[in-house]
Amino acid sequence: MSELIDYRLEDGIATLSLHNGKVNALSPEVITAFNQALDQAEQDKAVVIVTGQPGILSGGYDLKVMTSGPQQALDLVTSGSTLARRLLAHPYPVIIACSGHAVAKGAFLLLSGDYRIGVEGPFQIGLNEVMIGMTMHHAGIELARDRLRRSAFQRAVINAEMFDPAAALNAGFFDKVVKPEALMEEALKAAHQLKKINMTAHRNTKLKVRKKLLDGLQEAIRLDQQLGF
């Protein structure tokens, strides 16, 4: 599939593993590969597992691209927000198996999945945009508002608070936290359970439940393109 994203299909489960340097930076090339992998998974009618490398899901957008110019940064954020919206509307279940840190866009990947599993350890989960001098984009705000608990939303978005795995579970980034060695076993267990549901009903219900969010994200992406961030 791509050297940036390993695609493995087995027993109706597609595992997408990100491989882009030590922090799994999300570059334009990675996002293109991600979309291609989702195309393939949809063609294969597979439940999807997204994971990273040991110790990290992703550290966020590629900073070389983000600092290369305003238009390059805007284009990357737009493609990333569009990817998040696609994941939220994907016709088959999407499991995020977070293998460690998930920062900025890495944490937004968590907020885009149907079932999110994290691992115990000295890992940081959160939205550090404000900490690094980036005003949070409209699409990010809408996604965080919908998926995070109310008690954690403003702390995460406005204060750039970072969470350890247990606190991230309570905040709404995760649905479950397990020991690192149990991550993929737990993800496969969840995938096999989700294979039992009716996929047409899953897709239609997902689109009904998330209609307000998906519509809001579409408008937020338009505002980000128009106004910048």
Residue 54 in tokens: 């040991």
Instruction: Count other C-beta atoms under 10 Å from residue 170's C-beta.
Output: 14
Reference 106, options 176, 22, 191; nearest CA is: 22
Domain ranges of the chain: 5-227
pLDDT at residue 128 in the model: 96
Global pTM? 0.96
**Strand spans (E) along the chain:** 5-10, 13-18, 47-51, 55-58, 94-97, 100-103, 115-119, 125-126, 162-163, 176-178
Residues shown for the chain: 229
pLDDT at residue 2 in the model: 76
Please provide the average confidence, as pLDDT, over all residues in the chain. 96
**pLDDT tens for each residue of 98-125:** 999 999 999 999 999 999 999 999 999 9
pLDDT at residue 1 in the model: 55
Decide yes or no: CATH 3.90.226.10 for domain 5-227: yes
Task: Kindly state the percentage of the chain with pLDDT values over 90.
Answer: 95
Q: How many angstroms separate the CA atoms of 146 and 144, rounded? A: 5
**pLDDT tens for each residue of 164-191:** 999 999 999 999 999 999 999 999 999 9
DSSP 26: B
- Say if residues 84 and 143 touch (Cβ distance below 8 Å): yes
Q: Which residues pair with 51 in a beta bridge?
A: 17, 97
**pLDDT tens for each residue of 59-72:** 999 999 999 999 99
